[in-house]
Structure 1
Amino acid sequence: MSRSFGATRAVQDISFTIAPGEVLALVGENGAGKSTLMNLLVGALEPDTGSVRVAPPSGPHGRRVAMVHQELSLFDNLTVAENLELDREGGGAVVSERASRASARSVLEHLGVDVSVDATVGSLTVGQRQLVEIAKAVSVSPTLLILDEPTSSLEGPQVALLFAAVRRLAAAGTAVVFVSHRTEELFELCDRLLVMRDGVQVEFGPLAGHTRASLVESMVGRETSTLYPGRAPSLPPEPEIELVDVSLAGRLHGVSLSFPAGAVTAVTGLDGHGQTEVAEILAGATRPASGTVAVHGVPVRFSGPRAAVRRGIGYVPPDRRLDGLLLDGSVAANATLAAAPRVHPRGVRSPRRERRVVQGLVQRLAIKASSLHQPVVELSGGNQQKVLVGRWLLVPGLRVLVLNDPTRGVDVGSRAQIYAVVRDLAASGVAVVLVSTDMQETLGLSDQIYVLYSGRVSGRLLAADATERDVMHHAMGGDARA
Structure 2
Amino acid sequence: MAFLEFNNISKGYPGVQALSGISFSVEKGAVHGLMGENGAGKSTLIRVLSGDQSADTGSILLDSEEQNYRSVRDAFHAGVIVIHQELQLVPELTVAENLWLGRFPGKAGIIDSRTLVETVRARLEEIGIDVDPTAKVSALSIGARQMVEIAKAVMLEARVIALDEPTSSLSSRESEILFSLIERLKTKGTVILYVSHRLDEIFRLCDSLTVLRDGKLAAHHPKIAETTRDQIIAEMVGREISNIWGWRERPLGPPRLDVNDLSGRKLATPVGFSVRQGEILGFFGLIGAGRSEMARLLYGADHRHNGSVSIDGVTILPNDPKASINAGMVLCPEDRKFDGIIQGRSIEENIAISSRRHFSPLGILSPKKEAAVADRFIAKLRVRTPSRKQDIINLSGGNQQKVILGRWLSEQGVKVLVIDEPTRGIDVGAKSEIYEILYELAASGMAIIVISSELPEVMGISDRILVMCQGRVAADIPRSEFDERRILTAALPDKNAAGTI
Q: TM-score, normalised by structure 2?
A: 0.89
Q: 2:26 matched to 1:10? A: no
Shift of 1:12: 2.0
Using a 3 Å threshold, how does the CA distance of structure 1 residues 462 and 210 change in structure 2: closer, same or farther?
A: farther
CA contact (8 A) 1:231 1:447 kept: no
- Using the alignment, how far apart are the partners of 1:445 and 1:344 within structure 2? 37
- Using the alignment, how far apart are the partners of 1:470 and 1:223 within structure 2? 32
Amino acid at match of 1:308: S
Using a 3 Å threshold, how does the CA distance of structure 1 residues 164 and 371 change in structure 2: closer, same or farther?
A: same
Q: How does 1:73-88 map to 2 (within 5 A)?
A: 73-86=88-101, 88=103
CA contact (8 A) 2:350 2:407 kept: yes
Point out the more displaced range, 383-392 or 472-481.
Answer: 472-481
Q: 2:341 matched to 1:325? A: yes
Unaligned runs of 5+ in 1: none
Q: How does 1:82-231 map to 2 (within 5 A)?
A: 82-86=97-101, 88=103, 96-205=112-221, 206-231=223-248
Shift of 1:294: 3.0
Tell me the residue number matched to 1:42.
50
Unaligned runs of 5+ in 2: 1-8, 66-75
Q: 2:240 matched to 1:232? A: no
Amino acid at match of 2:24: F
- 1:254-284: per-residue Cα shift (whole Å, max 9, x none)? 2222222211111121111110111101221
CA contact (8 A) 1:81 1:101 kept: yes
Using a 3 Å threshold, how does the CA distance of structure 1 residues 481 and 248 change in structure 2: closer, same or farther?
A: closer
- Using the alignment, how far apart are the partners of 1:460 and 1:137 within structure 2? 41
Shift of 1:181: 1.0
Tell me the residue number matched to 1:388.
404
Shift of 1:250: 4.7
- Using the alignment, how far apart are the partners of 2:318 and 2:243 within structure 1? 39
Shift of 1:44: 1.8
Shift of 1:71: 0.6
What's the secondary structure of 1:273's corresponding residue?
coil
Tell me the residue number matched to 2:483.
467
More strand by share: 2
Shift of 1:90: 6.9
RMSD (CA atoms):
2.4
CA contact (8 A) 2:35 2:211 kept: yes
Using a 3 Å threshold, how does the CA distance of structure 1 residues 309 and 118 change in structure 2: closer, same or farther?
A: same
Tell me the residue number matched to 2:451.
435
Shift of 1:63: 5.7
Q: 2:82 matched to 1:67? A: yes
Point out the more displaced range, 461-470 or 151-160.
Answer: 461-470
Tell me the residue number matched to 1:264.
280
Using a 3 Å threshold, how does the CA distance of structure 1 residues 21 and 464 change in structure 2: closer, same or farther?
A: farther
Shift of 1:311: 0.8
- Using the alignment, how far apart are the partners of 2:256 and 2:489 within structure 1? 28
CA contact (8 A) 1:232 1:427 kept: no
User: Match for 2:37 among 29, 35, 46?
Assistant: 29
Q: TM-score, normalised by structure 1?
A: 0.92
Shift of 1:128: 0.9
Shift of 1:6: 4.3
- Using the alignment, how far apart are the partners of 1:51 and 1:21 within structure 2? 21
Tell me the residue number matched to 2:439.
423
- Using the alignment, how far apart are the partners of 1:207 and 1:439 within structure 2? 25
Shift of 1:153: 0.8
CA contact (8 A) 1:87 1:136 kept: no
Shift of 1:28: 0.7
- 1:83-116: per-residue Cα shift (whole Å, max 9, x none)? 1111558798865222221221222223311111
Shift of 1:65: 0.8
What's the secondary structure of 1:50's corresponding residue?
strand
Using a 3 Å threshold, how does the CA distance of structure 1 residues 118 and 409 change in structure 2: closer, same or farther?
A: same
- Using the alignment, how far apart are the partners of 2:369 and 2:488 within structure 1? 48
CA contact (8 A) 1:81 1:117 kept: yes
- Using the alignment, how far apart are the partners of 1:316 and 1:292 within structure 2? 21
Tell me the residue number matched to 1:369.
385
CA contact (8 A) 1:245 1:291 kept: yes
- 1:193-242: per-residue Cα shift (whole Å, max 9, x none)? 01111211121222113222211101112222521122433555x33223
- Using the alignment, how far apart are the partners of 2:104 and 2:91 within structure 1? 21
Q: How does 1:335-346 map to 2 (within 5 A)?
A: 335-344=351-360
Identity of aligned residues (%): 38
- Using the alignment, how far apart are the partners of 1:172 and 1:247 within structure 2? 49
User: Match for 2:368 among 347, 352, 356?
Assistant: 352
What's the secondary structure of 2:230's corresponding residue?
helix
Amino acid at match of 2:12: S
Using a 3 Å threshold, how does the CA distance of structure 1 residues 481 and 469 change in structure 2: closer, same or farther?
A: farther
What's the secondary structure of 2:263's corresponding residue?
strand
Shift of 1:346: 6.0
What's the secondary structure of 1:15's corresponding residue?
strand
Using a 3 Å threshold, how does the CA distance of structure 1 residues 96 and 335 change in structure 2: closer, same or farther?
A: same
- Using the alignment, how far apart are the partners of 1:91 and 1:42 within structure 2? 28
